[in-house]
Amino acid sequence: MALFARRNHAVRERDARDAAEGALARRDAGGVDRSTRARAARVSDAVPYERLTPDVIIDAVESCGFESTGSILGLASYENRVYQIGVDGGFVVAKFYRPGRWSTDAILEEHEFALELAAQEIPVVPPLVRDGETLHELDGYRFAVYERRGGRWPELGTSEEREWLGRFLGRIHAVGAARRFTARPTLDRDELGRRAAEHLLAGDWLPTHLVASYERVTEQLVDAIEQCFEEVGRYRELRIHGDCHRNNVLWTDSGPHFVDLDDCMNGPAVQDLWLFLAGSRDEMAAQLGDLLEGYGKFADFDYRELRLIEALRALRLIHYTAWIARRWDDPAFPRAFPWLGEARYWEQHVQALLEQRAALDEEPLAVVV
């Protein structure tokens, strides 16, 4: 029997309902006042972004005590809506959370992690605290306000830059290992792999002539991924960034910093390292060696996790396409990813999955630190 039973379009409706579920509970961690959680309970998970008008954006920022100049600049973000807003004396950044994606507790854990890192003088941009709170709500939108900090995407073309980044990640993981998230997700290979593939198969996204090939290769990948994780056995789960790659790091003369922890989760340390690797196996091994040289100055790394790199890459390949499909009702996604409806994309995607299946049979990267 095939691993993935094809289902009808009701799967889309179920996923939308699942995404709309939110939990609300009172918390006392991190020193943030939870006294207004009842107000957040009235927020509708189904409020569309179309209601997020410039007036609402400005009103939201001004409700936190800032005097707006009326200047608004949209910043790159797909899951959330993020804006740079001019205020008296400069600029702030406001992040409006996608309705229904995270529970209030999950968002607060993100904020607490950022504040915890900042308290250790680790370069992240935490949400600003106003009246004891970091999470605010207006007209059905939950949002946070941040100091604006600039920077450039890193090139990581030298060993020195990679070691610097490794030290940065090691410091984050040293703090992240102190405890686990309780409201945020743990890396779930079933959700990222099997369920993501099932969603695409159920939604008639693939051209007819590629359905069988896609189903077969994703089934093979899921089996191979499980084998990789079984070979590694138990690994330490810690609080990690979760979506750690060049476009999510900003670099200045003072080094790297994160401006967002929206995807933070419990997971293996290597999840925050492998996305910085590119090129041939020898090139990736050298890059990883530089990262771990810096990383090891602040945190221990379990080298067994190197066996998970290609498994994690396979999960990302499957999940990324399913993520776009699940967000297709958001007008920003068809505009940004029009190729999802093209047969050429799916042909290339299936080929990439086939190549990744072969990569899972290779030995882990040989790293010398």
Give the tokens for residue 274.
């492998």
Catalytic annotation present for 361: no
Q: Choose one of 117, 147, 177: the last residue of a domain.
A: 147
* 137 and 284 together in one domain: no
- Does position 7 have pLDDT exceeding 80, yes or no? no
Largest CA distance in the chain: 64
Residue 185: Cβ-neighbour burial (10 angstroms; 0-12, 13-18, 19+): middle
* 174 and 95 together in one domain: no
- Does position 44 have pLDDT exceeding 60, yes or no? no
Selected residue with higher pLDDT from 11 and 339: 339
Catalytic annotation present for 243: yes
Average pLDDT over residues 126-136: 97
**Contact assessment for residue 134 and residue 108, using Cβ atoms and an 8 Å cutoff:** yes
- Does position 12 have pLDDT exceeding 70, yes or no? no
* 188 and 328 together in one domain: yes
Give the pLDDT score at 17.
Answer: 38
Selected residue with higher pLDDT from 314 and 15: 314
Q: Give a yes or no: residue 339 inside a domain.
A: yes
The model carries a pTM of 0.86
Q: Give a yes or no: residue 86 inside a domain.
A: yes
* 192 and 61 together in one domain: no
* 27 and 70 together in one domain: yes
Q: How confident is the model at residue 64 (pLDDT cuts 50, 70, 90)?
A: very high
Active-site hit among 105, 243, 262, 272 = 243
**pLDDT tens-digit profile of 150-162?**
899 988 999 999 9
Q: What is the CATH number of the domain that holds 60?
A: 3.30.200.20
Active-site hit among 105, 260, 262, 290 = 260
* 80 and 201 together in one domain: no
Q: What is the CATH number of the domain that holds 293?
A: 1.10.510.10
* 195 and 317 together in one domain: yes
Q: Give a yes or no: residue 5 inside a domain.
A: no
Average pLDDT over residues 203-214: 96
Give the pLDDT score at 49.
Answer: 87
**Cα separation values, 107 from 32, 41, 99, 141, Å:** 12, 14, 12, 13
How large a percentage of the chain has pLDDT more than 70?
A: 87
Cα(11)–Cα(241) distance, rounded to whole angstroms?
A: 29
- Does position 19 have pLDDT exceeding 90, yes or no? no
Give the pLDDT score at 229.
Answer: 98
Give the pLDDT score at 34.
Answer: 40
* CA 270 distance to own-chain centroid: 15
- Does position 196 have pLDDT exceeding 80, yes or no? yes
**pLDDT tens-digit profile of 218-275?**
999 999 999 999 999 999 999 999 999 998 999 999 999 988 899 999 999 999 999 9
Q: List CB contacts of 316: < 8 A, sequence separation 6 or more.
A: 192, 275
Average pLDDT over residues 43-58: 76
Q: Give a yes or no: residue 281 inside a domain.
A: yes
Give the pLDDT score at 48.
Answer: 67
What range defines the domain where residue 206 resides? Answer: 159-359
* 181 and 243 together in one domain: yes
SS3 sequence of the chain:
CCCCCCCCCHHHHHHHHHHHCCCCCCCCHHHCCCCCHHHHCCCCCCCCHHHCCHHHHHHHHHCCCCCEEEEEEEECCCCCEEEEEEECCEEEEEEECCCCCCCHHHHHHHHHHHHHHHHCCCCECCECCECCECCEEECCEEEEEEECCCCECCCCCCHHHHHHHHHHHHHHHHHHCCCCCCCCCECCHHHHHHHHHHHHHHCCCCCHHHHHHHHHHHHHHHHHHHHHHHHHCCCCCEEECCCCCHHHCEEECCEEEECCCCCCEEECHHHHCHHHCCCCHHHHHHHHHHHHHHHCCCCCCCHHHHHHHHHHHHHHHHHHHHHHHHCCCCCHHHHHCHHHHCHHHHHHHHHHHHHHHHHCCCCCCCCCC
* 206 and 240 together in one domain: yes
- Does position 343 have pLDDT exceeding 60, yes or no? yes
Average pLDDT over residues 332-361: 97
* 238 and 101 together in one domain: no
- Does position 25 have pLDDT exceeding 70, yes or no? no
Q: Choose one of 102, 118, 147: the last residue of a domain.
A: 147
Number of domains in the chain: 2
Q: Choose one of 124, 147, 170: the last residue of a domain.
A: 147
Q: Measured between alpha carbons, how far apart are the two ends of the chain, in Å?
A: 46
Q: Give a yes or no: residue 335 inside a domain.
A: yes
* 224 and 181 together in one domain: yes
Q: Give a yes or no: residue 89 inside a domain.
A: yes
Give the pLDDT score at 260.
Answer: 86
Average pLDDT over residues 342-363: 98
* 138 and 201 together in one domain: no
Q: Give a yes or no: residue 174 inside a domain.
A: yes
